Amino acid sequence: MPINYGADTGKGFYKEEDLSIFLKAIESSIIKAPVKNNNRILLSDLWVISSLPKDLIIEVLKKYSEDLTVPEDINEIYDDGNNEIIWIKNKSI
């Protein structure tokens, strides 16, 4: 069944592809994102860099947390809009 990503923006799109195709794009965005206090990256920064819908980024991060490759200085990815941690190094939420 296709999933509608970005529906909350009014510019959503339906996707039937395997989510793993977005993993490399998100990893690339993580490398480019500014590292904030406590060695964290903000979801809003990943969204701006990748142009992927936030709900898609969250789903990929949660589904592929074990396969995610991040630089050593990054300990967590934080959803600054919902005030929650999406990903922690060596531990998935």
pTM over 0.85: no
Say whether pLDDT at 24 is over 70. yes
Say whether pLDDT at 28 is over 90. yes
What is the mean predicted confidence (pLDDT) over 47-57?
A: 94
Say whether pLDDT at 81 is over 70. yes
Which pLDDT belongs to residue 15? 59
Which pLDDT belongs to residue 20? 84
What is the mean predicted confidence (pLDDT) over 41-67?
A: 93
Q: Do residues 32 and 49 lie in contact, with contact meaning Cβ atoms separated by under 8 Å?
A: yes
